[in-house]
Amino acid sequence: MTAIARITLLSLVLGLSACAVQRPEPTPLPPIPPSQPSPTPSTTPTPSKPGIPAKPAKPLPRTSASFAPPPGGNSHWDPKLGVYVLDDQTNTFYRQRTYYRFNNGWSRSISPNGPWEETDIHGVPGGLGRQFGQ
């Protein structure tokens, strides 16, 4: 090899080895916020505070976001059952243009006054089937 080729090769090797040996600068980590001081137990008795009344339970919605209420009837939406419960008829429910009634078995109709057609648990919404399991 010629002298110029050797010098070039040696310079290249030394130059690249310097990059491999040099350590990168550490990147600063974000500061950790100070922790809140933990409360120390008090040795003096504190006077008892009067009981704060619990917030009243959130009222159940009167309507569903997904299903329209029954036409012309007083009802409320029961999210657990997934149907509207008719307020003036016992065990009568409504969802998607169909009324459901439980009276020792399931029946359904397109009107709250009938005529009623017998059905089984598979013909009613799931929440009703679980609540009134047969």
Task: Give residue-wise pLDDT tens across range 89-115.
Answer: 899 999 999 999 998 899 999 999 889
Q: Looking at residue 107, what is its pLDDT? A: 93
For the chain, the average pLDDT equals 77
- How far is the C-alpha of 96 from the C-alpha of 53, rounded, in Å? 40
Taking only Cα atoms into account, the Rg of the chain, rounded to an integer number of angstroms, comes to 38
Q: Looking at residue 24, what is its pLDDT? A: 61
Which of 28-32, 80-84, 110-114, 115-119 is predicted least confidently?
28-32
> What are the tens digits of pLDDT across the range 5-19?
888 877 777 777 666
96-115: burial string, b at 16+ Cβ within 10 Å, e else: eebbbbbeeebbeeeebeee
* Residue 121 three-state SS: helix
Counting every residue written for the chain, the total comes to: 134
pTM assigned to the model: 0.53
